[in-house]
Amino acid sequence: MSTFIAACRRQPVEHTPIWIMRQAGRYLPEYRELRSRVDFEALTHKAELAAEVTIQPLRRFELDAAILFSDIMTPVQGMGVDLFFDPGPVVRNPIRTDAQIDALPQLVPERDVPFVLESIKLIRPELPRGAPLIGFAGGPFTLLCYLVSGKPSKEFGIARSFLYSQPESAERLLDHLADAMAAYLGAQAAAGAQALMLFESWAGLLAPREFSRFALRAVRRTMAALRKRTDVPLIYYVNQGSALMEVVADLDVDVIGVDWRSPLSQVSRVLGPGKAVQGNLDPAALFAPPGELERHADLVLQEGRAAPGHIFNLGHGIWPETSPDAVARLVDHVHASSSKGRR
Ligand code: CP3
């Protein structure tokens, strides 16, 4: 079993596995080169290109997992929602009425996003070192933020006020997205994805009460459906969720991913012995001078030893300005340092 899957399952590992959120992307010269010729949407819609970009970072670095190159909005486009990327997703007709919610079709992945499933099949046999492939989707609430607000925003005021002004409509939309993402992730696992991750990038916008009522209720629905369909590890990434760990502790997933704001030992203490943790170096730490970066990585490793399983990652996506050399140093250091202090 790969170190990544073993850590997800809270089993012993010979070194702490590491992968990096947004590891395929603009900090890589080979991505920028391809991207200068092909726009982002075409990259996500052409199976061969998405497969190539997925594999790029694994050729360069000894990463322990690959993540499918796609976007959280790709299946939403597959449901017929008209949107474009600039660089974040912009929805041409934001969804704010019951009529619009009721008109959303259910996602049939094989019909609506066949290129995603095709790229998974292309990627699997090409992955170096038998690295496992992570499939992913957006958390229903994070998708709602973009669908209702219509564009990226710091506070997503329009989406948040929608929860209060039209709570039943919000729940209907979330249920629909929860079922669509269950179908989407289930199809990814059937096509060959070896772990599934749900990104709740905007979790931190909500207080625990609203997070439970809206975001978590929908995620439970997605994860429960997936547990019936597949036995691959399930990961829930909760960005800016330090105040939400109590309420996610009883969610039926294998791994909780967190941002850099709370130490992993503290996170794990709240989550308990049934959850592995993923994270949580500040992406800004990759700008520290050599020696310092390694010291920051060691602090994360040390915190991670308090958890029953630890997958090293950044607390959020890598920045486009990051030097690939810093990434190489980080990956090699995490492997060397964690295999010395074997768990
Ligand atoms: O390497 C990987 O992690 C896989 C690829 C991936 C992308 N988006 C490619 C992408 C993944 C996992 C995502 C998920 C995603 N997309 C999230 C959740 C993760 C997170 O960062 O919180 C969110 C919120 C989105 C929505 C989205 N798509 C935004 C906000 C943006 C702009 C972000 C930016 O960095 O400028 C996108 C566009 C996007 N998705 C790019 C990439 C590589 C940049 C597009 C380009 O090349 O121009």
Tokens 């915190």 locate to 303
Give the nearest ligand 1 atom to 68 CA.
4
Give the nearest ligand 1 atom to 20 CA.
3
Q: Which of 27, 31, 146, 237 is catalytic?
A: 146
User: What is the C-alpha to C-alpha distance for residues 43 and 47, in angstroms, rounded to an integer?
Assistant: 8
Ligand 1 near 63 CB (within 6 A): no
Q: Which of 35, 124, 220, 261 is catalytic?
A: 35
Centre of ligand 1 from the C-alpha of residue 71, in Å: 6
Nearest CA to ligand 1 atom 43: 25
Residue 197 three-state SS: strand
Ligand 1 near 313 CB (within 6 A): no
Q: What CATH number was assigned to the domain covering residues 3-340?
A: 3.20.20.210
Ligand 1 mutation target, pool 35, 68, 72, 136, most atoms within 8 A of CB? 72
Model pTM above 0.95: yes
Please give the C-alpha separations between residue 81 and each of 25, 92, 147, 193, in angstroms, as whole numbers. Answer: 24, 8, 9, 25
Ligand 1 near 22 CB (within 6 A): yes
Ligand 1 near 136 CB (within 6 A): yes
The predicted pLDDT at position 341 comes to 52
Give the nearest ligand 1 atom to 53 CA.
1
Q: What is the pLDDT along the chain (343 residues), one digit of tens a residue?
A: 899 999 999 999 999 999 999 999 999 999 999 999 999 999 999 999 999 999 999 999 999 999 999 999 999 999 999 999 999 999 999 999 999 999 999 999 999 999 999 999 999 999 999 999 999 999 999 999 999 999 999 999 999 999 999 999 999 999 999 999 999 999 999 999 999 999 999 999 999 999 999 999 999 999 999 999 999 999 999 999 999 999 999 999 999 999 999 999 999 999 999 999 999 999 999 999 999 999 999 999 999 999 999 999 999 999 999 999 999 999 999 999 999 654 4
Ligand 1 near 167 CB (within 6 A): no
Centre of ligand 1 from the C-alpha of residue 266, in Å: 28
Q: Which of 9, 26, 229, 261 is catalytic?
A: 26
Q: How many CB atoms sit inside 10 A of residue 199's CB?
A: 22
Nearest CA to ligand 1 atom 28: 88
Nearest CA to ligand 1 atom 4: 69
Catalytic residue check, 22:
yes
The predicted pLDDT at position 343 comes to 47
Please give the C-alpha separations between residue 59 and each of 5, 9, 64, 91, in angstroms, as whole numbers. Answer: 20, 26, 12, 35
Q: Which of 10, 27, 71, 236 is catalytic?
A: 71
Parse the chain into domains and list their residue ranges.
3-340
Q: Which residues contact 3 (CB under 8 A, 6 or more apart)?
A: 13, 14, 15, 16, 17, 64
Ligand 1 near 67 CB (within 6 A): yes
Tokens 């890589």 locate to 28
